[in-house]
Protein backbone atom coordinates (compact mmCIF):
# COMPACT_ATOMS: atom_id res chain seq x y z
CA UNK A 1 0.00 0.00 0.00
CA UNK A 2 2.88 2.38 0.73
CA UNK A 3 4.30 1.70 -2.73
CA UNK A 4 0.98 2.23 -4.50
CA UNK A 5 0.15 5.34 -2.47
CA UNK A 6 3.52 6.89 -3.28
CA UNK A 7 3.20 6.20 -7.02
CA UNK A 8 -0.38 7.52 -7.12
CA UNK A 9 0.61 10.72 -5.28
CA UNK A 10 3.48 11.26 -7.72
CA UNK A 11 1.27 10.79 -10.78
CA UNK A 12 -1.40 13.10 -9.40
CA UNK A 13 1.05 16.00 -9.28
CA UNK A 14 0.66 16.20 -13.07
CA UNK A 15 -2.66 14.41 -13.69
CA UNK A 16 -5.21 16.64 -11.96
CA UNK A 17 -8.61 15.56 -10.66
CA UNK A 18 -8.33 11.92 -11.78
CA UNK A 19 -7.69 10.00 -8.57
CA UNK A 20 -9.86 7.02 -9.51
CA UNK A 21 -8.33 6.75 -12.99
CA UNK A 22 -4.83 6.85 -11.50
CA UNK A 23 -5.67 4.00 -9.12
CA UNK A 24 -7.16 1.97 -11.97
CA UNK A 25 -4.03 2.56 -14.04
CA UNK A 26 -1.95 1.08 -11.23
CA UNK A 27 -3.91 -2.19 -11.31
CA UNK A 28 -2.04 -3.74 -14.28
CA UNK A 29 1.29 -2.59 -12.90
CA UNK A 30 0.88 -4.48 -9.62
CA UNK A 31 -1.04 -7.36 -11.22
CA UNK A 32 1.53 -8.10 -13.91
CA UNK A 33 -0.62 -6.97 -16.83
CA UNK A 34 -0.71 -4.21 -19.43
CA UNK A 35 -2.82 -1.06 -19.78
CA UNK A 36 -4.62 0.45 -22.78
CA UNK A 37 -5.69 4.09 -22.45
CA UNK A 38 -8.39 4.90 -24.99
CA UNK A 39 -9.90 8.36 -25.27
CA UNK A 40 -10.10 11.46 -27.43
CA UNK A 41 -6.91 13.51 -27.97
CA UNK A 42 -5.79 16.04 -25.39
CA UNK A 43 -7.29 14.61 -22.18
CA UNK A 44 -4.00 13.42 -20.67
CA UNK A 45 -3.47 9.84 -21.85
CA UNK A 46 0.20 10.35 -22.67
CA UNK A 47 0.71 12.44 -19.53
CA UNK A 48 -0.67 9.66 -17.33
CA UNK A 49 1.43 7.00 -19.07
CA UNK A 50 4.62 9.08 -18.85
CA UNK A 51 4.02 9.95 -15.20
CA UNK A 52 3.55 6.27 -14.32
CA UNK A 53 6.78 5.36 -16.07
CA UNK A 54 8.82 8.10 -14.43
CA UNK A 55 7.48 7.40 -10.93
CA UNK A 56 9.26 4.04 -10.82
CA UNK A 57 13.03 3.72 -10.51
CA UNK A 58 13.14 1.37 -13.48
CA UNK A 59 14.11 1.50 -17.13
CA UNK A 60 11.57 3.43 -19.18
CA UNK A 61 11.14 3.92 -22.92
CA UNK A 62 8.63 5.73 -25.09
CA UNK A 63 7.76 4.62 -28.62
CA UNK A 64 5.83 6.99 -30.86
CA UNK A 65 3.80 4.78 -33.17
CA UNK A 66 3.49 6.12 -36.72
CA UNK A 67 2.42 4.70 -40.07
CA UNK A 68 6.04 4.12 -41.16
CA UNK A 69 7.20 2.43 -37.94
CA UNK A 70 8.64 -1.05 -38.51
CA UNK A 71 8.79 -4.06 -36.14
CA UNK A 72 12.59 -3.76 -36.00
CA UNK A 73 12.21 -0.20 -34.68
CA UNK A 74 10.50 -1.72 -31.63
CA UNK A 75 12.25 -5.04 -31.09
CA UNK A 76 15.76 -4.39 -32.37
CA UNK A 77 17.85 -5.69 -35.24
CA UNK A 78 20.94 -7.80 -35.95
CA UNK A 79 23.74 -5.63 -37.32
CA UNK A 80 26.72 -6.99 -39.23
CA UNK A 81 30.06 -5.80 -37.91
CA UNK A 82 32.74 -5.91 -40.59
CA UNK A 83 35.58 -5.80 -38.04
CA UNK A 84 34.57 -9.07 -36.41
CA UNK A 85 32.66 -10.64 -39.26
CA UNK A 86 29.75 -11.37 -36.91
CA UNK A 87 26.25 -10.12 -36.33
CA UNK A 88 25.53 -8.17 -33.16
CA UNK A 89 22.01 -7.68 -31.82
CA UNK A 90 21.09 -4.06 -31.13
CA UNK A 91 18.23 -3.99 -28.65
CA UNK A 92 15.16 -1.93 -29.38
CA UNK A 93 13.12 0.20 -26.97
CA UNK A 94 11.01 -2.84 -26.00
CA UNK A 95 13.83 -3.81 -23.60
CA UNK A 96 12.61 -1.69 -20.68
CA UNK A 97 10.61 -2.29 -17.52
CA UNK A 98 8.00 0.28 -18.52
CA UNK A 99 7.25 0.77 -22.22
CA UNK A 100 4.96 3.55 -23.35
CA UNK A 101 3.41 2.84 -26.77
CA UNK A 102 2.01 6.23 -27.72
CA UNK A 103 -0.85 6.30 -30.23
CA UNK A 104 -0.45 2.59 -30.84
CA UNK A 105 -3.23 2.45 -33.44
CA UNK A 106 -1.38 4.79 -35.80
CA UNK A 107 0.99 1.96 -36.76
CA UNK A 108 0.14 -0.75 -39.26
CA UNK A 109 -1.11 -4.18 -38.09
CA UNK A 110 2.28 -5.67 -39.04
CA UNK A 111 4.05 -3.33 -36.62
CA UNK A 112 1.43 -3.80 -33.91
CA UNK A 113 1.99 -7.55 -34.09
CA UNK A 114 5.58 -7.04 -32.90
CA UNK A 115 4.16 -6.60 -29.39
CA UNK A 116 2.21 -9.87 -29.25
CA UNK A 117 4.96 -12.20 -28.05
CA UNK A 118 6.47 -9.52 -25.82
CA UNK A 119 3.22 -8.79 -24.01
CA UNK A 120 2.20 -12.41 -23.58
CA UNK A 121 5.49 -14.24 -22.91
CA UNK A 122 7.80 -11.40 -21.76
CA UNK A 123 10.26 -12.31 -24.49
CA UNK A 124 10.90 -11.72 -28.18
CA UNK A 125 12.34 -13.84 -30.98
CA UNK A 126 14.66 -12.34 -33.60
CA UNK A 127 16.11 -14.53 -36.38
CA UNK A 128 15.48 -17.66 -34.34
CA UNK A 129 17.09 -16.34 -31.15
CA UNK A 130 14.92 -15.71 -28.08
CA UNK A 131 15.63 -12.73 -25.84
CA UNK A 132 14.09 -12.38 -22.39
CA UNK A 133 12.58 -9.03 -21.39
CA UNK A 134 13.21 -7.42 -18.00
CA UNK A 135 11.03 -8.13 -14.98
CA UNK A 136 8.71 -6.41 -14.31
CA UNK A 137 7.58 -5.65 -17.85
CA UNK A 138 4.66 -3.26 -18.23
CA UNK A 139 3.25 -1.83 -21.48
CA UNK A 140 1.15 1.33 -21.32
CA UNK A 141 -0.45 2.04 -24.70
CA UNK A 142 -2.55 5.00 -25.72
CA UNK A 143 -4.89 5.20 -28.66
CA UNK A 144 -7.45 7.53 -30.17
CA UNK A 145 -10.85 6.20 -31.24
CA UNK A 146 -10.57 4.23 -34.47
CA UNK A 147 -12.92 6.62 -36.25
CA UNK A 148 -10.17 9.26 -36.26
CA UNK A 149 -8.17 9.74 -39.47
CA UNK A 150 -4.92 7.84 -39.85
CA UNK A 151 -5.63 5.07 -37.35
CA UNK A 152 -5.92 1.28 -37.57
CA UNK A 153 -8.18 -0.83 -35.34
CA UNK A 154 -6.28 -3.08 -32.94
CA UNK A 155 -6.80 -6.77 -33.76
CA UNK A 156 -8.63 -8.90 -31.20
CA UNK A 157 -5.49 -10.90 -30.42
CA UNK A 158 -3.72 -7.71 -29.36
CA UNK A 159 -6.65 -6.30 -27.41
CA UNK A 160 -6.83 -9.56 -25.46
CA UNK A 161 -3.30 -8.95 -24.17
CA UNK A 162 -4.26 -5.73 -22.41
CA UNK A 163 -5.48 -6.49 -18.92
CA UNK A 164 -7.34 -3.18 -18.56
CA UNK A 165 -8.77 -0.75 -21.08
CA UNK A 166 -9.97 2.58 -19.76
CA UNK A 167 -10.54 6.22 -20.65
CA UNK A 168 -9.47 9.39 -18.88
CA UNK A 169 -12.41 11.71 -19.46
CA UNK A 170 -12.49 15.49 -19.28
CA UNK A 171 -11.42 17.10 -16.00
CA UNK A 172 -13.92 18.81 -13.73
CA UNK A 173 -14.06 22.61 -13.56
CA UNK A 174 -11.69 23.02 -10.61
CA UNK A 175 -9.12 20.59 -11.99
CA UNK A 176 -9.18 22.26 -15.40
CA UNK A 177 -8.78 25.68 -13.78
CA UNK A 178 -5.62 24.44 -12.05
CA UNK A 179 -4.36 23.06 -15.34
CA UNK A 180 -4.91 26.39 -17.08
CA UNK A 181 -3.27 28.44 -14.33
CA UNK A 182 -0.31 26.17 -13.58
CA UNK A 183 0.61 24.75 -16.97
CA UNK A 184 1.85 28.00 -18.59
CA UNK A 185 4.33 28.67 -15.76
CA UNK A 186 5.70 25.14 -15.51
CA UNK A 187 7.97 23.21 -17.80
CA UNK A 188 5.92 21.74 -20.59
CA UNK A 189 7.67 18.36 -20.27
CA UNK A 190 7.13 16.02 -17.34
CA UNK A 191 10.11 15.39 -15.09
CA UNK A 192 9.19 13.32 -12.03
CA UNK A 193 11.59 11.70 -9.58
CA UNK A 194 11.13 7.95 -8.91
CA UNK A 195 9.22 7.22 -5.71
CA UNK A 196 9.32 3.40 -5.91
CA UNK A 197 11.95 0.85 -6.86
CA UNK A 198 11.72 -2.19 -9.10
CA UNK A 199 11.86 -4.45 -6.07
CA UNK A 200 8.96 -2.61 -4.45
CA UNK A 201 6.85 -3.17 -7.56
CA UNK A 202 7.79 -6.86 -7.54
CA UNK A 203 6.86 -7.04 -3.85
CA UNK A 204 3.49 -5.45 -4.65
CA UNK A 205 2.91 -8.10 -7.32
CA UNK A 206 3.70 -10.81 -4.78
CA UNK A 207 1.22 -9.24 -2.35
CA UNK A 208 -1.48 -9.29 -5.03
CA UNK A 209 -0.93 -13.02 -5.59
CA UNK A 210 -1.46 -13.61 -1.86
CA UNK A 211 -4.94 -12.02 -1.75
CA UNK A 212 -7.43 -14.73 -0.81
CA UNK A 213 -10.00 -15.88 -3.38
CA UNK A 214 -12.51 -18.35 -1.99
CA UNK A 215 -13.90 -21.17 -4.16
CA UNK A 216 -17.24 -19.32 -4.28
CA UNK A 217 -15.55 -16.16 -5.59
CA UNK A 218 -13.59 -18.17 -8.13
CA UNK A 219 -16.85 -19.70 -9.37
CA UNK A 220 -18.33 -16.18 -9.60
CA UNK A 221 -15.52 -15.00 -11.89
CA UNK A 222 -15.80 -18.17 -13.96
CA UNK A 223 -19.59 -17.86 -14.24
CA UNK A 224 -19.28 -14.27 -15.50
CA UNK A 225 -16.72 -15.23 -18.15
CA UNK A 226 -18.81 -18.16 -19.38
CA UNK A 227 -21.97 -16.04 -19.45
CA UNK A 228 -20.32 -13.61 -21.88
CA UNK A 229 -19.65 -16.50 -24.25
CA UNK A 230 -23.28 -17.68 -24.28
CA UNK A 231 -24.85 -14.20 -24.53
CA UNK A 232 -26.70 -13.90 -27.85
CA UNK A 233 -25.75 -10.22 -28.22
CA UNK A 234 -22.06 -11.10 -28.33
CA UNK A 235 -20.15 -12.74 -31.14
CA UNK A 236 -17.02 -13.17 -29.00
CA UNK A 237 -16.97 -13.42 -25.21
CA UNK A 238 -14.24 -13.21 -22.61
CA UNK A 239 -11.35 -15.58 -23.33
CA UNK A 240 -9.64 -17.79 -20.72
CA UNK A 241 -6.80 -15.24 -20.75
CA UNK A 242 -9.40 -12.58 -19.99
CA UNK A 243 -10.75 -14.59 -17.06
CA UNK A 244 -7.22 -14.90 -15.67
CA UNK A 245 -6.70 -11.14 -16.06
CA UNK A 246 -10.02 -10.45 -14.36
CA UNK A 247 -9.05 -12.58 -11.37
CA UNK A 248 -5.68 -10.80 -11.09
CA UNK A 249 -7.31 -7.38 -11.39
CA UNK A 250 -9.89 -8.26 -8.74
CA UNK A 251 -7.12 -9.30 -6.36
CA UNK A 252 -5.23 -6.06 -7.02
CA UNK A 253 -8.35 -3.92 -6.49
CA UNK A 254 -9.10 -5.67 -3.20
CA UNK A 255 -5.55 -4.92 -2.08
CA UNK A 256 -5.96 -1.24 -2.99
CA UNK A 257 -9.07 -1.19 -0.80
CA UNK A 258 -6.99 -2.45 2.14
CA UNK A 259 -8.36 -6.01 2.08
CA UNK A 260 -6.58 -9.34 1.82
CA UNK A 261 -9.67 -11.06 0.41
CA UNK A 262 -12.01 -10.62 -2.55
CA UNK A 263 -15.73 -9.74 -2.39
CA UNK A 264 -18.36 -9.78 -5.20
CA UNK A 265 -18.28 -5.99 -5.58
CA UNK A 266 -14.61 -6.24 -6.55
CA UNK A 267 -15.55 -8.42 -9.51
CA UNK A 268 -18.35 -6.06 -10.57
CA UNK A 269 -15.98 -3.09 -10.23
CA UNK A 270 -13.23 -4.54 -12.40
CA UNK A 271 -15.28 -6.40 -15.02
CA UNK A 272 -16.09 -3.38 -17.26
CA UNK A 273 -12.40 -2.46 -17.55
CA UNK A 274 -11.16 -6.03 -18.07
CA UNK A 275 -13.93 -7.49 -20.21
CA UNK A 276 -15.44 -4.71 -22.35
CA UNK A 277 -12.62 -4.47 -24.91
CA UNK A 278 -12.44 -8.26 -25.19
CA UNK A 279 -16.11 -8.71 -26.05
CA UNK A 280 -17.25 -8.26 -29.63
CA UNK A 281 -20.89 -7.33 -30.16
CA UNK A 282 -22.68 -9.22 -32.91
CA UNK A 283 -22.83 -7.17 -36.10
CA UNK A 284 -20.52 -4.47 -34.73
CA UNK A 285 -16.82 -3.83 -34.30
CA UNK A 286 -17.36 -2.18 -30.93
CA UNK A 287 -16.87 -3.78 -27.54
CA UNK A 288 -19.42 -4.20 -24.80
CA UNK A 289 -20.89 -1.23 -22.96
CA UNK A 290 -21.22 -0.93 -19.20
CA UNK A 291 -24.93 -1.69 -19.61
CA UNK A 292 -24.00 -4.93 -21.40
CA UNK A 293 -21.74 -5.92 -18.51
CA UNK A 294 -24.47 -5.11 -15.98
CA UNK A 295 -26.88 -7.30 -17.95
CA UNK A 296 -24.46 -10.22 -17.67
CA UNK A 297 -24.21 -9.78 -13.90
CA UNK A 298 -28.00 -9.91 -13.67
CA UNK A 299 -27.76 -13.45 -15.03
CA UNK A 300 -24.99 -14.49 -12.61
CA UNK A 301 -26.04 -14.65 -8.94
CA UNK A 302 -23.44 -13.27 -6.55
CA UNK A 303 -22.20 -15.60 -3.80
CA UNK A 304 -23.45 -14.86 -0.29
pLDDT in tens, 57-77: 889 999 999 989 999 999 999
pLDDT in tens, 151-195: 888 888 889 999 999 988 888 888 888 878 876 545 556 788 999
Domains and CATH numbers, the chain: 1-183+195-203 (3.40.50.300), 211-299 (1.10.8.80)
Of 300, 208, 196, 204, whose CA–CA distance to 253 is shortest? 208
Which residues does residue 196 pair with via DSSP β-bridges, in sequence order?
Answer: 56
222 band by pLDDT with thresholds 50, 70 and 90:
very high
Is the pTM here over 0.75, yes or no?
yes
What is residue 28's predicted lDDT score, i.e. its pLDDT? 95
What is residue 50's predicted lDDT score, i.e. its pLDDT? 87
Mean pLDDT of 18-22: 90
Average pLDDT of the chain to the nearest whole number: 89
Whats the size of the chain, residue-wise?
A: 304
Amino acid sequence: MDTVTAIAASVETVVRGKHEQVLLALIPMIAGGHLLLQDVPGVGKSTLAQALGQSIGASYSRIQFTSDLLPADILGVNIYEAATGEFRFRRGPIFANVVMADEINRASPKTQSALLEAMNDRRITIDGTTWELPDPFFVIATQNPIEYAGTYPLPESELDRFQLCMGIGYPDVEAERRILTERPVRQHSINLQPVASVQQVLDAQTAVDQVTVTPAMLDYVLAFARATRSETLFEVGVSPRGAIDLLKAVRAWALLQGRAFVVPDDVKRMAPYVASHRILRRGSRKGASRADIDRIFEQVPAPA
